[in-house]
Structure formats: C-alpha cells, structure tokens
Amino acid sequence: MGAPPDRRIWIDGELVPWEQATVHVLSHGLQRGSLIFDYLSLHETPRGPAAYRLDEHVERFQASARLVGLPLAQDAAAIRAAVLEAARANPGASSVKISAYLASVEVDVVPLDDHVTLAVAAYDPVADMIRPKGHEPRPFAPLAVWVEKERRNRRPDILPPQAKCAANYASPMAAKWEARRQGYDEVLLVDAEGNLAEGPTTNVFLVDGNGGLRTPPEETVLHGVTRRSILEIAAHDGIAAAVEPIAPKEIFEAAEAFLTGTTAGVWAIASVDGKPFATPAPGPVSRALGKRFREISEGRDPAFAHWLTPVNAD
Ligand code: PMP
C-alpha cells in the first residue's frame, strides 16, 4: 500500500506531504529512542469533528518532554493550535499523533544541534497505516492476555512509565513478543514490586463481584486519559472505584477485567493465562462502561461536552 494520497503532516508550522515527512536513519530520535509523543482521538460529534480531551493530551505531552529533558519550543496553546490545524487539513482523520524529536545526526547523547522538531499527524489508523497483506484489522474481540512473569526495568529511577518516550516501549515490546509466542493476544506488565501495572499501550481495570472498579495506582502506570475518563465517569455515575496496588493473582478472583486506551476504548479481557472469566467477556460492567465511554466521546452526553474541543472554530 502506498502513502495516503492527501494526507499532510504538520511539521514545525508547515503542512508537509505524508511521504516527505521523514527523518534520517542516524537521527537522535531513532538511534537514542528519545522521541516523545502523545496520541488522541477525533470524533464526529453533533457539533462537528472534535478532539477528545485535547488539554489533557497536550499537558501529558509536555510532561513527557520534561521527564525526558527535551526542550520544547512551543507552549501548550501553540501545540493545541497545531493539533487543530492538522485535523482541519486532514478531513476524515480519527487519530492525532503529536511527536517531538531531535532530528540531528550527531553521535553525542546531547547534540549541539538541539532543535526539537514538533510534528502533528492526523490520520485514519485503519485506512492510512501500512498493514501487511492478510493482516486485516480485527474487531475489538475480547482478549486472551498473559501476565508478565519477569520484572523488567519499569522503575521510576530509570525512565518513569509516565513518559511517553519511544525508548519506554522497548521492554513492553519484549514482553508482548513473549506473550505472542505463547499464543496470547496481549500482555499485562508488572511493576517493580511485581504488582499489575498496565498493558503496553493500555491501562487495566478489574471489576469486583459488586460491580466496583479497581485499577493500579498512578505511580506505576502511564496516566492514561481513558483511565482518568473511566474514573471520572465512575465518580459521576456513583460506581465505586479503588486506585490501589493489585497483585497478579487478584485478577483471577475478579468478576471481569478490561483494558482502556485511546484506540481500544474499553476492551474486555476474555481470559488470563488461559483461564477464562466465569461470565463470558464482555461482562455486563465492561459492556456498559464501553457504551457510556463511546457516547461521551462522540459528544452524545451534554454533561461531558467540555471534554470535546471542536476542530472548526464556531
Ligand atoms: N499505557 C501506556 C503505556 C500507553 O502507551 C497508553 C496509550 N497512550 C495507555 C496506557 C493508555 O492511555 P490513553 O488512555 O491516554 O490512550
């Protein structure tokens, strides 16, 4: 599949054709894994296309830059404006990836040319991404997950899990590859203490027998905007939710479990380490929250309209 014909990527203020949005193989972002990014969704809403929780995504992007030490030239308002401009330039896009990287090809870990490029791509993750033949996108069928058995370097004194930095995805990649080799769809990572942390690109929730939610604490996971949304929806709807350490064995005692993320929304887990939940997934709570989350992100609940930023000025 070639490049999408009309997609343009916002790079340092210019709209660059998709196939020209390249960096050198020896660039710092690639060789040192120093690129930081954030990823948010666009939705068709009754008020037209809108960005989901734009402020929160931009704040998290700035936090990633701070954690990695990348000197971003743009402030929050400029980044938000770039997202909306990229969205307007790419009609039909449903995802936005904001990236910041050192394009310099110097060897030093701190290059003399410290210009940080800001790039914003708005696209359709299914139609526009290159996918090997025979690997059609799967519907969000309940997942067979495997709990990581080895503790990797998810420690706050290295690069904390709160940084959306390219390098931070190497150890989840190794863990997910291991899960794939064993025939599972997805891996659940453990933290430095061996407690449940998150998926490689999702957060995790357990549902207890009374319909209450549990999710691991902020210190050990990426601050997922969907995770935060689910916790805020739970508070609004009177659903009990505990944010606390969870031992891996506790997932086997849960009534349901699900993953959350920008792409996945609420994604039910069917089985853990080959053991299915007693109630076939998606269970009633995962199903109801998934529907509630979709309604809100599509602008169909006025109580949460402030979570959506229209792409076109009113
Ligand atoms: N954890 C990690 C490590 C992630 O990369 C993501 C995806 N951004 C998430 C959780 C889910 O975050 P969000 O709900 O903001 O997409």
pLDDT, tens digit, 9 for 90 and up, residues 236-281: 999 999 999 999 999 999 999 999 999 989 999 999 999 999 999 9
What beta strand segments (E) does 149-208 contain? 186-188, 203-207
pLDDT computed for residue 123 by the predictor? 96
CA–centroid distance, 277 to ligand 1, in Å, is 24
Give dist(CA 35, CA 21) in Å, integer.
15
pLDDT computed for residue 129 by the predictor? 82
pLDDT, tens digit, 9 for 90 and up, residues 158-203: 889 999 999 999 999 999 999 999 999 999 999 999 999 999 999 9
The finding on whether 29 has its CB within 6 A of some atom of ligand 1 is no
Q: What is the pTM of this model?
A: 0.96
The finding on whether 39 has its CB within 6 A of some atom of ligand 1 is yes
**CA-nearest residue, atom 4 of ligand 1:** 201
Do residues 292 and 286 lie in contact, with contact meaning Cβ atoms separated by under 8 Å? no
Q: Residue range 5-16: average pLDDT?
A: 95
Instruction: Considering only residues 107 and 275, tell me which one the structure prediction assigns the higher pLDDT.
Output: 275
The finding on whether 220 has its CB within 6 A of some atom of ligand 1 is no
pLDDT computed for residue 139 by the predictor? 73
**Residue 225: which of 124, 98, 131 has the closest Cα?**
98
pLDDT computed for residue 41 by the predictor? 98
**CA-nearest residue, atom 6 of ligand 1:** 201
CA–centroid distance, 162 to ligand 1, in Å, is 9
pLDDT computed for residue 32 by the predictor? 95
Radius of gyration of the chain (CA): 20
Give dist(CA 86, CA 103) in Å, integer.
21
Give dist(CA 205, CA 241) in Å, integer.
10
Give dist(CA 147, CA 218) in Å, integer.
19
The finding on whether 201 has its CB within 6 A of some atom of ligand 1 is yes
Verify cis geometry, omega within 30 degrees of 0, for the bond prior to 282: yes
Q: Residue range 153-162: average pLDDT?
A: 79
Do residues 248 and 190 lie in contact, with contact meaning Cβ atoms separated by under 8 Å? yes
Determine the atom of ligand 1 nearest the C-alpha atom of 164. Answer: 5
Average per-residue pLDDT for the chain: 94
CA–centroid distance, 242 to ligand 1, in Å, is 19
**Residue 18: which of 36, 30, 6 has the closest Cα?**
6
pLDDT-based confidence at residue 153 (cuts at 50, 70, 90) = low
pLDDT-based confidence at residue 221 (cuts at 50, 70, 90) = very high
- Least confident interval from 5-19, 122-136, 139-153, 212-226: 122-136
pLDDT computed for residue 2 by the predictor? 52
β 116-123/186-188 pair status: unpaired
pLDDT computed for residue 127 by the predictor? 84
Give dist(CA 304, CA 42) in Å, integer.
15
Q: Residue range 279-308: average pLDDT?
A: 97
Do residues 229 and 207 lie in contact, with contact meaning Cβ atoms separated by under 8 Å? no
